Amino acid sequence: MKAFVFPGQGAQFTGMGKDLYEGFEMARELFEKANSILGFRITDLMFGGTEDDLKQTSVTQPAIFTHSTVLASVIGDKFKPEMVAGHSLGEFSALVASKVLRFEDGLLLVSRRAGAMQKACEEFPSTMAAIIGLEDSVVEAVCSQIRDTVVPANYNCPGQVVISGTVEGIDKAVEILNARGAKMAVKLAVGGAFHSPLMEPARIDLEKAIRSTTFNKPLCPVYQNVSAKPSVNPDEISANLVAQLTSPVKWTQTVINMISDGAVSFTEVGPGKVLQGLIKKIDKSVIVDSASV
């Protein structure tokens, strides 16, 4: 079975999507629609913005979403998924590509999500850290022992977990995990504790928008971050999307389940090749590639 996967924040790069805009009328129309919906020319930032421009959450999230969904539209008959999944932000791209959400609705939700997350970051100073080389259970145990809020946020692949929490809590966790033998335990250059309870204000904000958006039955099963399991039920998909902001991204578990359910190849749709690398670390036997036009 063929799976299509969609990247999340961090996959952006200057020039992303420019080839699609210049080469395909359908792509130009969608990019211009995105400019209109957002109220600013995100294409100018995608095609010629600086690295710092693209790091702004209000730009990064809609930029990656737009690039991914436009690419899925342009490849046409090559996009025949038997299952889909997206990493964090990428779940919104997967939902549009699988026809759960309209492009316009997906972009509005992503923009709302980015704004809500940025606001939560400003209200509650917090951060994240990457932990390499330890068993998930060790990372989980250390997080649970710290008085401040510290939780696993991204299970990216075996031996690679990202944790989220208060600045003080993350500092303490990094210190302990390094002492426990982590190959690497370092804070990330982010301004918030994504996928943690500290994103509760953003979850409440986004829930209002999600509840007023129409969710349709997908073309194929959607494996969601919160459960790591497939769903074709619009109500379940919607509820899981609400919970996503304060819950860990179970990417390792998702890929394992997709393979168990028959996936033999994974095509990454969007900027970069981050997910391909993670999938290969989860199971070397599967085929991975990038979507191409």
CA 77 to chain centroid, in Å, comes to: 25
Residue with tokens 């003080």: 168
88 given a catalytic annotation: yes
∠ CA 100-103-106, rounded to 5°: 70
Q: Which two tokens stand for residue 130?
A: 């990457």
- Catalytic residue, chosen from 88, 111, 126, 164, is 88
- Catalytic residue, chosen from 67, 73, 195, 238, is 195
CB 47 within 8 A of CB 59: no
User: Which of 51, 171, 65 is CA-nearest to residue 113?
Assistant: 65
- CA dist 246 and 155 (Å) reads 14
User: Cβ contacts of residue 72 below 8 Å, gap of 6+?
Assistant: 4, 79, 93, 96, 97, 269, 291
Name the residues annotated as catalytic: 88, 195
